[in-house]
Structure 1
Amino acid sequence: MASKSYANILDLDPDKLLDIPQTPRALPRVMTIPGIIAGVDSYGNDCDSESTSSSCRERKIIVANMLPLHIQRDPDTLKLTFSFDEDSLLWQLKDGFSPESEVVYIGSLKVEVDAREQEEVAQKLLDEYNCVPTFLPYELHRKFYGGFCKHQLWPLFHYMLPMCPDHADRFDRVLWKAYVSANKIFADKVMEVANPEDDYIWVHDYHLMILPTFLRNRCNRVKLGFFLHSPFPSSEIYRTLPVRDEILKGLLNCDLIGFHTFDYARHFLSCCSRMMGLDYESKRGHIGLDYFGRTVYIKILPVGIHMGRLESVLNLPITLRKVKEIAERFKGKKLIVGVDDMDIFKGISLKLLAFEYLLQMHPALRDKLVLIQIVNPARSAGKDVQEAKMETYLILNRINEAYGSPDYQPVVLIDRPVARYEKSAYYSMADCCIVNAVRDGMNLVPYKYIVCRQNSPHSDDETALRTSMLVVSEFVGCSPSLSGAIRVNPWDIESVAVAINSAIIMKESEKQLRHAKHYRWSRTSDWQPDLVPMELEWKEIAKPVMELYREATDGSTIEIKESGLVWHHQDADPDFGSCQAKELLVHLENVLANEPAVVKRGRHIVEVKPQGVSKGLVAEKVLSTMTENGEPLDFVTCIGDDRSDEDMFESIMNTVSSAEIFACTVGRKPSKARYYLDDTVDVVRLLAGLANASDPKPSSNPARFHVTFDTGF
């Protein structure tokens, strides 16, 4: 009897839903690749569960709606020709696996293949590309992908409800049945290819969210992972979906579910809690929930970029020629670049409206500022896409007519397929990049821009510090990890215009600092810390624990100090970072219970340091040493912003008796400090004022001036 975890979907009997023919077998039973058919090794012998691991090579099976291939039909022979799409994230995934792992791709083709040539095509793809195609009948694919995926799931996951016929499509059960049927065909293909007890199966994106249900029903011990490339909406949005339970159950039949950000994971967990009564807990840096006797792990897995591949493109002769061409064409101009799909959620029209407002309010920028907007080909040809395109061109023409001239075009729209080298050239030449989506997944454009600016071939001075500026919508998945970006609400056109202007006029030194921070983060997303030798045993215990939480928390870092270790989470998602900090605190207290170390939590940090060492003790030592050395103090300033600074305030109050003390906390809160400042801006102003102050009555014995403040605020 099937488990209740498969209920509803299996009851639909998808083979009979649309009365569609079964996909013809594309693979013969005897293969030359070990383990390509479950239960058969390279010699045609049975691989039982005990012998498979040693005789059959470990494989990763990546299942997605589309194979990562470019496809063309030879005009002479009419045969299909294939090549890997090197821009595809699915294709780049293989570089993240062990070289010993075999990677097999399962997915559809971007062209319809006649039934008579399907078997030949399938064999060619398997032999030459390790790809296994699923052939969906045209009508099924139209209702599955063009219908349920693109016009029901995709808008809903981007927070668009079908409030009226012109605002997303209403739920259509025929399209849902097509979705179920297509997922069933994918499941058949996976089971035809996989050794389910040994292979690792990774399912990608919202097109295949109930595929895990069919696979789990076939083999309960199958090793399943799922990664969602789009946002997952809040429970208030998701619960409007009539088949909400079926999709949640589909995901819960996985062993691991990955999301771009903690926000998306939190929304999913909230749906599981409110709609299915499932509880979850965070343990050892990971989130897990129990579902029918299994633990389903939830992980935050932000997608990165292939830096080596991107850097190599910048050095190609064709890229260098394009960079030179851009430099000559836009000489003397400040360039802003945007690269977006043409759809209603990428905010292209809002971006243009903000740029129009900027030129209107700042006439001096006219003839000096150019927005290069690259538009990726639309993934669907729906009415909403056509309307978005019409609106974009309407605003574009209005801006260029109002503020352009024969020698100046304020907005340059590139609405055609743009090769990687050309995009890289524009990235490397742009003073600012703007991502203004009203709702988006991770979006890798900012990271590509940062890397291209760092390796820009246009710079004559290789030692010069590089700069970049980012204006990023707060509704984009990458926003939390880009702490140096100017975050904007894309709907607030005036504020976006102000942000663009700020990015352009910002001091070079500030641009350099922001760029360096972003580039460091881009390079160290898989960073392994180069730690100095640790003499104290407690550091060696604390280090791997902190490393575990750093890997599990996007945006967190570890700082190595002589006096201890500090885990920072100021650049992580605020809610997730705080949750992880609380758990890390408890975890470290447990493992260091018998060690001469203390664990403290401060503002965006968790710190481990030796017992008896505090800011108060250090401040007391510094001031006492100065007094003993004959350096009396007339005035002491002490500034800090978190609980650990209270020891410093108290220590200075008790240590210094002959000098005037200015103890100041940052933020209005109970404190042992007598004074307060509202924020760090006020701190900088205060220190600048003190530095510029002069003694109206200088003496032969000028007063010693010592400033003590916490650099971590």
Structure 2
Amino acid sequence: MDGLRAASPRDVSVVVCINVLPLVFTRAPLTETCPWHVEWSTSSYGLFLRHIVAGQRYKPIFVGCPEVYIPKQDEQAVRLLLLHDFNCIPVFLDTTLAHRHFQGFCKGVLWPIFHNVVDVYNSAELTLDAYPAEVDPPSHATESRGENAEQDRTVWLPPASWNPASQDKCWKEYCQVNRLFAKKVIEHWQPGNIIWIHDYPLLVLASYLLRKLRAGSIAIFMHVPFPSSEIFRTLTVRTELLRAMLCANHIGFLVFEHARHFLTACKRLLGLNYKTAHNGMLAVEYNGRLVLVTCSHCGTELYHMNDLLARLDTDARALQLKAAFAPLVAANKIILASVDRLEGLNGVPLKLRAFDRFLAMYPARRRDVVLVQFGISLDCRPNDYRQTRTYVEKFVAEINRRYGSPEAPVVVYEERATMMALERMVLWQTGHIFLDTCVRGGLTMLPFEFLSAHHNHPSHAGVLVASEFSCYSRILNGALLVNPWKADDVVGAIVKAIEMPAYEMRSRAHLNFQFLVDNPVSEWGSRMLADIESAGKIAMSTNLMSASDKASGDFLEIGFGFDYRVMQFSPGFAPINVDETAKAYASSTKRLVIFDYGGTLSWTLCLMDDEASMHYYEDNNNVTKEGGTDDGRLSSIRKLDGQVRTPVSAATKASLEVLCQDPNNVVFVWSNARRLELEAEFGRIAGLNLVSDNGYFLRKSDSVAWESLYADAPEDFAWKTQVTNIIKTYVARTNGSFVTVNETSVTFDYHNCDLEYGEMQAAELYEQLSQLLKKEKTTIERGKGFVEVHRFGVNKAIAVSMILSFCKEKVATPDFILCAGDDESDEQAFRTIRAFADAEKTPVVLTCTVGRKPSAAQYYLDSVSEVLSLIEALSVVRSRLKRRASSPNASRRAIVTFQSQFLNGGKMISPIFVRNLSKEFSKAISTSTLEEFCVDHFNPAMLTSPRQDEESKSRQWLRTSFTTAELVQAAVVGGILGWSLRHQLRRFFQ
């Protein structure tokens, strides 16, 4: 980082990424080394940026664009000046790129959307792609330019208004600018640095940074509101923006309303839920990563405000403005003070309209009250600016004509390009009432400046009249809140402020000022940075931090462009190695292989997909075909949610049959599908065992009868009718939801409805069913997009527990276990298999999820195609082993195989296991406790206390240290010794 001031080892460098550096550039004399003179900006926004990283521990490095265009020949000199004197890293843009990024996408598209405005009827012309839009008329920034345009403060392209419907035209430039920022940050980044991205011009920067800086703490702070999800979804790049923002570790908002809109957008567009986290933060789980969200509004630096107040009597511009206000002060006028940018969102015309009504309703106040309004001209959104300026000038002239005079206007209006901090402090100190009528506002420091100027004021404490749509109105509880659209509301607040007793005025001012005392920008910034560091540590505790870790599988890169994301996994998670799996398969002799059905052996497609249209549908209940099969289409199972489950291919069935023919294999296919569906799809594969309804029914390959989990107990499903009727009432009130009634379960599915409303309905349904089914042996399971009621103990963890227990007790402990599945129910089984393997020291255990996602499995396969390739590879191994076994040199003696032992072992479902399971029903039952029951069944040490662990080890030692014959011999010897001792004692006492 050449040129940057070195930080001490304990310092943390904070790379503050902002669109425009808080610096003011002016042309320097030709004798200067650098052709530009640079100083810190004194605008309210510039002062805020300068103080956000001002703690003793944090050192700022600013990355951003200069506010003016810097010619190519001046870039090197400006770069060195900014690095050496201001600790700033400039990002130089050419005029066209900067124009399309800021004027086009930021101000033309994002600005109205993020302020909850769908600007469909923007006056900027909307054209077809084949016809270029007419050049927008020049704005105030270019109207006064003469021949020496190169000497002007800026030589950016003239401002233009972009129609939001053309938002795709500037998206490429928006991304390009973010990439340039990422390049600069990466060049100067060092381990331990914090990267703090500010506001909407750089929303996709985090996505570019995460690709290179895995160990970095990356944060975003929004200065503008975040729109409601209904407005945000009008963006053509809505998911790209959300995914890019979620690449950060921490996202900050001013108020909870904005955070709520963001979280709702994540839920509705990406299906992500949020939860509360430590220290009052919120957390969104995204691809296995936790993204923390906070809501916090800052104040201002009081010591800096006091310094400005002390300079008011010495600064020439401040003295000049004070002299201009002297007649108003001498006339004892009550001054309403305002400074606003001339754009529609600031509501200046609404303010003037309300002030006009005030003067009409209270004629006695016309000589006592004056509105001093400064309008700051804009160099962007020229149509908005011109329209607002026209309204303001028209209203000011009309109000002064009605109620004032040229010598004594009731509205003093002046438009300026900028207004320095000292000039603003003169206005605030002179004014009595701060009047704000914005219709949608983000971060602003102006009300805090007003409070600072009036603190300890000898005669007037000042009153804030604030729009309820402003952010600061949520934290300044002493302000008078108004609805700017309701003129009478604003009039009432003005009257109340004028007539407010001194004690109430001081009380309200003290209440507001206390917030500034408690939340100066520097302390607020330190708190935010501490939260950002905390978010980074949470990420570092499980994320990959180096290239060497990459192989361990903690981090996984997925997708391209803005579909790129980083998934986070437990250590060791990696793609399954087919060759190594085949070698382990060949060297084992007792293999248990389990495959899920839907999503593992077959695809699930939407009815609207072209591939899905190639299938005809089978009725779920009767497995009968709709129409004929003479059109060449393939059969499939149709689901109620508009999807189809494609049939298992003939090649896959052939490979499965090869695996089932191996006498050393026991192969299962399990599913939540019903028995009829599994029989129709897999019934003709010899040697294949089936599990239906998530484990309620099991069937061996040599049997036509299904075993039931509760075969020795009456199967009472009377509750199904009640539950179905209740769910149907919710379905009728929840558009897009449906009810599925299976043999052993009833499901409320709301995947396809509004997710937020669906969650509300699901929560209420869950509570109602919990009360209804208190005395029933049922489990209510609430998952992502569904609520399911089924008999207690029905899940794949229980099913695999029974299969493994049966193998261990009646067959043999497997030396090779492979289990592959794709959904949440399979995750329960993965953990149970892991517990069994740890307890039994199983040589080879391969749990595999389908699709790259956070999972309890050890490995993953990308798709159904890879699962089918794995099955084919194992079937090839089986064929080779079969040829080897049939060679002339092979042994011909008959042996008892693993498969034959399994088939001859009797029923898989153990009554003892079911009775133990039933005992668990009296406890507080949930899916997690059932998993614990299964884990404890195989490996009690994973869930027991140290003392219980020692007792368990003692019992285990007794069981494993002696053979059965040795134990019988010891019992006989002990009995003889006992009889002899008893005989000797009897003789002694006689």
| Secondary structure of 1:265's aligned partner | helix
Q: CA deviation at 1:58?
A: 2.9
1:79 alignment partner in structure 2: 35
Alignment of 1:36-115 (within 5 A): 58-74=12-28, 76-77=30-31, 79-87=35-43, 89=45, 92-93=48-49, 95=51, 96-115=53-72
Q: Which has the higher helix share?
A: 2
Matched residue, 2:271? 277
Report what 1:151 is aligned to: 108
- The offset of 1:450, in angstroms, is 1.2
SS at match of 2:165: coil
Pick the aligned partner of 2:314 from 287, 308, 318: 318
Where does the alignment leave 5 or more consecutive residues of structure 2 unmatched?
125-162, 524-530, 532-990
For 1:149 and 1:490, the matched residues in 2 are separated by 26
- 1:191 is matched with which residue: 186, 193, 196? 186
**Structure 1 residue aligned with 2:282:** 287
What whole-Å deviation, never above 9, does each CA across 1:474-498 have from its counterpart, x for those lacking one?
1100111122222111111122122
Letter in 1 for 2:328: R
Give the AA of the match of 1:424: M
Question: Which residue is 1:211 aligned to?
Answer: 205
Q: Aligned residue for 2:490?
A: 496
Cα distance 1:528–1:246, how it changes in 2: closer, same or farther (>3 A)? closer
Residue 413 of structure 1 aligns to a residue whose secondary structure is strand
Looking at structure 1, the residues matched to 415 and 520 of structure 2 have their Cα atoms a distance apart, in angstroms, of 35
Q: Conserved in 1, the CA contact under 8 Å of 2:22 and 2:49?
A: no
RMSD, aligned CA: 2.5
Q: CA contact under 8 A between 1:318 and 1:421: conserved in structure 2?
A: no
TM-score of the two chains, using structure 1 as the length reference: 0.64
Mapped contact 2:45–2:445 kept (Cα < 8 A): no
Q: Does 1:161 align with 2:118?
A: yes
Larger radius of gyration: 2
Secondary structure at 2:299 match in 1: coil
Question: CA–CA distance in 1 between the matches of 2:5 and 2:423?
Answer: 41
Alignment partners' CA distance in 2, 1:305 and 1:335: 24
**Cα distance per residue 1:668-709 (max 9 Å; x no partner):** xxxxxxxxxxxxxxxxxxxxxxxxxxxxxxxxxxxxxxxxxx
* Residue 232 of structure 2 is aligned to residue 238 of structure 1: yes
- Alpha-carbon distance in 1 for matches of 2:351, 2:402: 17
Q: Is the 8 A contact 1:35 1:57 kept in 2?
A: no
User: Would you say the 8 A contact 2:253–2:259 is kept in 1?
Assistant: yes
How much has 1:447 moved relative to structure 2? Answer: 1.7
Please show how residues 120-135 of structure 1 align to structure 2 within 5 Å.
120-135=77-92
The answer on whether the counterparts of 1:68 and 1:88 sit within 8 Å (CA) in structure 2 is no
Given the superposition, is the C-alpha separation of residues 292 and 79 from structure 1 closer, same or farther in structure 2, using an over 3 Å criterion?
Answer: same
Whole-Å Cα distance in 2 between the matches of residues 448 and 92 of structure 1? 12
CA distance change for structure 1 residues 294 and 410 in 2, over 3 Å: closer, same or farther? same
Q: Distance in 1 between matches of 2:521 and 2:348?
A: 34
Give the alignment's TM-score, normalised by structure 2: 0.46
Cα contact 1:70–1:83 (8 A) shared by 2: yes
Query: 2-side partners of 1:481 and 1:125: how far apart?
Result: 36
Alignment pair present for 1:308 and 2:303 = yes
Q: Is the 2:3–2:80 Cα contact (8 Å) retained in structure 1?
A: no
**Which stretch of structure 1 is more off in the superposition, 251-260 or 289-298?**
289-298
Sort the Cα spacing of 1:32 and 1:123 in 2 relative to 1 into closer, same or farther, 3 A.
Answer: closer
Residue of structure 1 equivalent to 2:594: none
Q: Distance in 2 between matches of 1:420 and 1:169?
A: 34
**Match in the other structure for 1:345:** 345
SS in 2 for 1:218: coil
Q: Which residue of 1 aligns with 2:916?
A: none
The 1:432–1:90 alpha-carbon spacing in structure 2 relative to 1, beyond 3 Å, is closer
Q: How far 1:388 sits from its partner (Å)? A: 0.6
CA distance in 1, matches of 2:302, 2:351: 28
Q: Residue by residue, what CA displacement relative to the aligned partner does 1:30-85 show, whole Å, maximum 9, x if unpaired?
A: 8254779xxxxxxxxxxxxxxxx95x953111111011100001254581111111
Letter in 2 for 1:336: L
The superposition leaves residues 352-389 of structure 1 with CA deviations (integer Å, 9 ceiling, x where unpaired) of 01001110111101111000112223241521111111
Q: For 1:224-623, list aligned pairs within 5 A.
A: 224-284=218-278, 285-316=280-311, 317-318=313-314, 321=319, 323=322, 326-330=325-329, 331-416=331-416, 417-456=418-457, 459=458, 466-525=460-519
SS at match of 2:419: coil
Structure 1 position 189, deviation (Å): 1.0
CA contact (8 A) 1:468 1:514 kept: no
Name the count of aligned residue pairs.
476
* Counterparts of residues 168-183 of structure 1 (less than 5 Å): 169-183=164-178
Equivalent residues of 1:278, 1:290 under 8 A apart: yes
The CA distance in 1 between the partners of 2:255 and 2:389, in whole Å, is 29
- In the TM superposition, residue 255 of structure 1 has moved relative to its aligned partner by 0.9
User: Do 2:35 and 2:74's aligned partners in 1 also have CA atoms closer than 8 Å?
Assistant: no
- Say if 1:311 and 1:455, in contact at 8 Å, map to a contact too: no
Q: Which runs of 5+ in 1 are unaligned?
A: 1-29, 37-52, 530-547, 549-713
Identity of aligned residues (%): 29
Alignment of 1:603-682 (within 5 A): none
Distance in 1 (CA, whole Å) between partners of 2:488 and 2:212 is 55
Q: What does residue 557 of structure 1 align with?
A: none
Q: Would the alpha carbon gap of residues 93 and 380 (structure 1) be closer, same or farther in structure 2, given more than 3 Å must change?
A: closer
Are the structure 2 counterparts of residues 165 and 339 from structure 1 closer, same or farther at C-alpha, using a change threshold of 3 Å? Answer: closer
Check conservation: 1:376, 1:418, Cα contact below 8 A: yes
1:215 is paired with a residue whose SS is helix
Whole-angstrom distance in 1 between the partners of 2:405 and 2:230: 49
Q: Distance in 2 between matches of 1:527 and 1:220?
A: 29
Secondary structure (helix, strand or coil) at the match of 1:412 reads strand
CA contact (8 A) 1:225 1:257 kept: yes
Q: Which moved more, 1:300-309 or 1:92-101?
A: 92-101
> Contact between 2:335 and 2:430, CA under 8 Å: does it hold in 1?
yes
Partner Cα separation in structure 2 for residue 281 and residue 88 of structure 1: 35
| SS in structure 1 at match of 2:219 | strand
Q: Post-superposition shift, 1:279?
A: 1.0
The equivalent of 2:195 in structure 1 is 201
Once the 2 structures are TM-superposed, how far is the Cα of residue 329 of structure 1 from its aligned partner? 3.5
Instruction: Decide whether aligned partners of structure 1 residues 478 and 335 sit closer, same or farther in structure 2, where only a CA change above 3 A counts.
Output: same
Tell me, in whole angstroms, the C-alpha distance in 1 between the residues paired with 2:289 and 2:96: 37
* Separation (CA, whole Å) in 1 of partners of 2:122 and 2:450: 38
Q: What secondary structure is seen at the aligned counterpart in 2 of 1:82?
A: strand
Deviations 1:434-469 (A, max 9, x none): 11100001322222111111144xx3xxxx7x5221
Question: What is the rounded CA distance, in whole Å, between the counterparts of 2:42 and 2:67 in structure 1?
Answer: 16
Residue in 1 aligned with 2:641? none
Distance 1:528 1:370, change over 3 A: closer
The whole-number CA distance in structure 2 between the counterparts of 1:219 and 1:422 is: 44
Distance 1:247 1:513, change over 3 A: same
**CA distance in 2: counterparts of 1:505 and 1:116, whole angstroms:** 61
Residues 225 and 255, structure 1, Cα contact 8 Å, conserved in 2: yes
Separation of aligned partners in 1, 2:277 and 2:182: 32
Superposed CA deviations along residues 567-602 of structure 1, whole A, max 9, x for unmatched, are xxxxxxxxxxxxxxxxxxxxxxxxxxxxxxxxxxxx
Matching residue of 2:956: none
SS of corresponding position for 1:400: helix
Aligned 8 A contact 2:101 2:177 in 1: yes
Per the alignment, do residues 130 and 88 of structure 1 end up closer, same or farther by CA in structure 2, a change over 3 Å counting?
farther
Q: Say if 1:429 and 1:453, in contact at 8 Å, map to a contact too.
A: no
